[in-house]
Structure 1
Amino acid sequence: MTLTDRQQQVLDYLRQQIDTTGLPPTIHELMQAFGWASPRAASKHLEALIAAGAIEMAPHKARTIQLAGARRRPDTLELPLVGRVAAGEPILSDGSVERTVAVDRWMFRPSPDFLLRVEGDSMIDDGILDGDLVAGKATPDAEHGQIVIARLGDAGITIKRLHKRGRTLRLLPRNPHHAPIDPDPTEDFAIEGIYCGLLRRA
């Protein structure tokens, strides 16, 4: 398989995105990554990689990209649904998992590890409502402005938007009737994951 330098760069980018997020990039993301002005430029490079046998994909559907030789990933994920989590317990402790739920893996980005049942209305301005099932990616790290799932002392698990200033962290609600939370460094506090999306019952 002989590729041009740019085709190899595109292939390396596809591999990096799939390894990091569990999902291939969209056409728009490819355009942004390589500075292409039109979707056609991205499609032409993907077509060249298909012709070279480097990738496989359904026509005109970038989200179906598979690296050649890679085991095909199922279209569904079996995610543990986390219920009420006891203070001090990891979010995926045996006692907190109610059941598993099958979800379409293409609904979320990055690929989630669990679902958490929302209790309360502190995030309504971000469209997260009481009773929603929030998808989370298990990680202890998060960036300023991300929505995080955090363990907070006796309060158990909370969902808030993270505000970082230097070494200081603040958890911001998205409802003016709720106050921000300033984690006490002496209490049991940890970021358990980042928000990937949600499911809502009809």
Structure 2
Amino acid sequence: MLTAKQQQLLLFIQKRLSDNGVSPSFDEMKDALGLKSKSGVHRLINALEERGFIRRMANRARALEILKMPDNQTVEKAKESNVIAPTFGQQHKKPSKPQQDYGVEIPLHGRIAAGTPIEALENRDSFVSIPPHMLGRGNCYALEVSGDSMIELGILDGDTVVIESADTAHDGEVVVALVDREEATLKTLRRNGQFIELVPANREYSTQVLEAGRVQVQGRLVGLLRQYH
């Protein structure tokens, strides 16, 4: 089973090959995945090659060949999916056959909005279906996005985000953070000494700088669903 980043990279390579027959450069892959350096891309490429999903073609620069897709997914199905992998880059092309039923159901807790703790959002009668590869290592739940504070990562108002339950996260990960046990927000986490910075992805918004004890991580972003109308 591929990790979310491996799956994301495989789909990105497949799309570029399908669009113009040319593999993306390592810089393009780094930017598409939101990585800080090309070393991360090299590790993902090596992992995909070891698992038999891709092959590097000898004596040709930037030449990659996709050998298979995960879970018997065809190339055509990968192109048409309305699932946006965790780069959350915006996709403007409407899929010809949006797929609604992915077979794995997780709780849909409601809309993530200021002033509402995650626990208060829980609705045990509401669920959303997601692809199996989006499941994290722990329990997952879904939230509907309210607002535009993360639009520069392609996370739009009305999107549904898939969250892996967790009480910690690495710098640079998008998390559900509970501030003062009252306000739940979806932001990029960054540590700065004794402080936690909650960074929006919209230049119209300011970064929140809070004492570490005021911030409780409630989950990490692992996937995103978008409904096309």
With normalisation by structure 2, the TM-score equals: 0.53
- Which of 146, 149, 155 aligns to 2:176? It is 149
Distance 1:35 1:81 in 2: 35
- C-alpha root-mean-square deviation of aligned residues, in Å? 3.7
Equivalent positions of 1:89-168 (< 5 A) are 89=117, 91=118, 93=119, 96-97=122-123, 99-106=126-133, 108=134, 110=136, 113-153=140-180, 156-168=183-195
Q: Which runs of 5+ in 1 are unaligned?
A: 1-13, 45-58, 65-74
Q: CA deviation at 1:43?
A: 3.3
Q: CA deviation at 1:185?
A: 5.1
Distance 1:134 1:34 in 2: 26
- The alpha-carbon distance between structure 1 residues 155 and 119, as it changes in their structure 2 partners (threshold 3 A), is farther
* Helix, strand or coil at the partner of 1:182: strand
For the pair shown, the structure with the greater C-alpha radius of gyration is 1
* Helix, strand or coil at the partner of 1:176: coil
1:201 aligns with 2:227: yes
Counterpart in the other structure of 1:43:
52
Alignment: residue pair count: 151
- The alpha-carbon distance between structure 1 residues 61 and 150, as it changes in their structure 2 partners (threshold 3 A), is same
Distance 1:150 1:169 in 2: 10
The ranges of structure 1 where at least 4 consecutive aligned residues each deviate by more than 3 angstroms after the TM superposition are: 25-29, 31-36, 41-44, 59-64, 84-89, 109-112, 184-187
1:170 aligns with 2:197: yes
- Which of 74, 77, 81 aligns to 2:104? It is 77
Distance 1:88 1:79 in 2: 20
Equivalent positions of 1:9-28 (< 5 A) are none
8 Å Cα contact 1:81/1:100 also seen in 2: yes
Counterpart in the other structure of 1:192:
218
With normalisation by structure 1, the TM-score equals: 0.59
* Helix, strand or coil at the partner of 1:149: strand
8 Å Cα contact 2:195/2:210 also seen in 1: no
Percent identity between matched residues is: 26
8 Å Cα contact 2:142/2:160 also seen in 1: yes
1:183 aligns with 2:210: yes
Q: Which runs of 5+ in 2 are unaligned?
A: 11-39, 54-66, 73-101
- The alpha-carbon distance between structure 1 residues 76 and 198, as it changes in their structure 2 partners (threshold 3 A), is same
